[in-house]
Structure formats: C-alpha cells, structure tokens
Amino acid sequence: MAGGTSRDHRDLLISCRLLGDCAAAGETMVHITYKVVRHEDGWAYAANGAFSESFPTHAEALEAARRAAAEQRAPGQTETIEYEDEEGKWHTELALGSDRPETDVEDAG
C-alpha cells in the first residue's frame, strides 16, 4: 500500500482480499489472459506481451497455457515484503498468498 493509503483503507483491502470481495473496497482484481498463437516455427502462448517457449503443436501450447493459467491462480503463502519505490522510500507490506489474479486462456488456433 504505497503512498497515501490510510490504515482503514489498507485494512479494508486486506479484508477484501481474504473474503474475495475487492469490489467493495474499490479495488479490481488483476486479470491475465494467456493467448495461444502461432509463434516462430510452431505455437506458443503469450501473456502481457511476453511469449512462452515454442511448442511443435497447437495442442501442446494450449495445454501449457492452461497449466500456466492454473499456476497463477494457485494460492501461495502470506509473507511480509519490503520494496523501494521510485522516490527511494522503503515500504513494508503484507503480501497475501490468497491475492491471486484471475486468469483465462484464449485459443486463436
């Protein structure tokens, strides 16, 4: 929660992530679409402008995209993280293991 996030708002964001109701806190969930596309001499999946390795068949690329999408949705461990912002200020936050993006796979083949 960088910058001017109040303690009450931060607590609401933490609650919304735990309960899965981020719309109530005015926060939208991150959404990642994995697109299966022709790439180099075969097939790949792309997400956020980055391509996976190439696969010889469409079916292999589609399966890999489905696996990647599922892994992104899988919860992890809640951990405390520290990071430095653009202005050189350090922040400490709670990164919830349940705060995972929504994902889907789009098949162009």
Question: Is 24 within the bounds of a domain?
Answer: no
Output the six-digit token pair for 6. 């109040």
Please name the residue ranges forming H helices in the chain.
7-19, 58-73
pTM of the model: 0.60
Question: Is 93 within the bounds of a domain?
Answer: yes
pLDDT given at position 106: 95
Total structural domains within the chain: 1
pLDDT given at position 28: 55
Question: Is 74 within the bounds of a domain?
Answer: yes
Question: Is 76 within the bounds of a domain?
Answer: yes
Which residues fall within 8 angstroms of residue 107, CB to CB, at 6 or more apart? 36, 62
E strand intervals along 1-109: 31-39, 42-47, 50-51, 79-84, 90-95, 102-107
Q: What's the domain range around 57?
A: 29-107
Question: Mean pLDDT for each 10-residue chunk of the chain (109 residues)?
Answer: 42 46 56 93 92 96 95 89 90 86 88
Instruction: Please write down the long-range contacts of 45-50, taking CB distance under 8 Å and 24 or more positions apart.
Output: 45/105
